[in-house]
Amino acid sequence: MFSSAATLAASLGALLGTRASYALLELGDARDALLRVLLFGAAALGAAALALVGLSALLVAVFWEALGWRILLILSLAYGVLAWLLLQRARRILAEGRVGLPVTLAELRKDHEALFGTAPEEGR
C-alpha cells in the first residue's frame, strides 16, 4: 500500500514538475514576444514622429507666405490639444483601475475570503 502511494506521489511530483517546466518555457516565450512587440512599437513611434516633423515642415513651407508666423502657432496649438487629449485618456484609464491586473486581484481576494473568511488587508 505504501509502495503504491509513494509511486503515486512520485508520479504526481514528476507531473507537476513537467507542467511547471512547460509553464516557465511558455512564460519565457511570451516575454520575448512582448519585448519584440515593444521594440517594434517604439520603432514605429519613432518613424511616425519623423513623419510628423516632415509634414509639419512641409505645412510651414507651404503656408508661410500666407500666414507667416501664425502657421507655427496653429501647429503648436494643434499638437498641444492632441497631447492634452491623449493625457486625459491615459488618466481616465488609470482612474478606472484597468492597469495592474484588476480581474486577477479581485479573484485572489475572493479566494482569500473563501479560504479564510475575511478580506485581505489592503497593502499586503
Q: What is the pLDDT of residues 47-105, one digit of tens each?
A: 999 999 999 999 999 999 999 999 999 999 999 999 999 999 999 988 887 776 677 77
C-alpha span between 118 and 114 (Å, rounded): 8
pLDDT of residue 82: 95
Run of H or E including 65: helix 2-67
C-alpha span between 70 and 76 (Å, rounded): 10
C-alpha cell at 58: 512641409
C-alpha span between 89 and 51 (Å, rounded): 23
Give backbone dihedrals phi and psi of 119, rounded to 5 degrees, phi first: -75, 145
pLDDT reading at 9 higher than 70: yes
pLDDT of residue 75: 96
Closest CA to 107 of 95, 94, 120, 96: 120
Cα separations (Å) of 121 from 33, 68, 99? 35, 62, 20
Handedness of CA 12, 116, 122, 110 (dihedral sign): positive
pLDDT, tens digit, for every residue of 14-46? 888 888 888 788 888 888 888 999 999 999 999
Model confidence pTM above 0.75: no
Contacts of 59 (CB under 8 A, 6+ apart): 71, 75
In this structure, how many other beta carbons lie within 10 angstroms of the beta carbon of residue 60? 15
pLDDT of residue 27: 80
